Amino acid sequence: MYSEKVLDHFHHPRNQGKMKAADGIGQVGNPVCGDIMKIYIKVGQNADSVPIIEDIKFETLGCGAAIATSSMLTEMAKGKTIDEALKIGKLEIAQELGGLPEAKLHCSILAHDGLKAAVADYRQNKNKS
Ligand code: FES
């Protein structure tokens, strides 16, 4: 029922764990199932001084699909400008994983919303300093 890529990211999640001194932290809950996820981002700048996601980590209290989609999102977002990373849609994450079963599509919401929340937190922190 899961693609090999989903199983790979579930069994060997990339960028999983806490990040010390993160520039932004987003915590979200999935309204469908109540699962929780946290995304940490470290923001740097590219050669044109545009803010980029220099590093990203996640912690998920959720199902296998939530872990796999979070892991894939961190790989897709790392190195991208913040604006590019925010454009990564939940269907795109599922597609990169070789698809998700229909009943598990909602699980990719967590990763997507977690990144948005982490960026909002980063922007708020930046405005305070
Ligand atoms: Fe909750 Fe998948 S069942 S995120």
pLDDT in tens, 59-68: 999 899 999 9
Ligand 1 center–CA 24 separation, angstroms: 23
- Domain CATH for 44: 3.90.1010.10
pLDDT in tens, 88-123: 998 899 999 999 999 998 888 888 899 999 999 999
- Which two three-digit tokens encode residue 88? 């990564």
Ligand 1 center–CA 62 separation, angstroms: 5
**63 labelled catalytic:** no
DSSP state of 1: -
Its domain, for residue 49, covers 4-128
Q: What is the pTM of this model?
A: 0.93
Name 43's Cβ contacts closer than 8 Å, sequence gap at least 6: 23, 24, 51, 52, 53, 54, 82, 122
**107 labelled catalytic:** yes
User: What are the beta bridge partners of residue 26?
Assistant: 39
Query: What's the domain count of the chain?
Result: 1
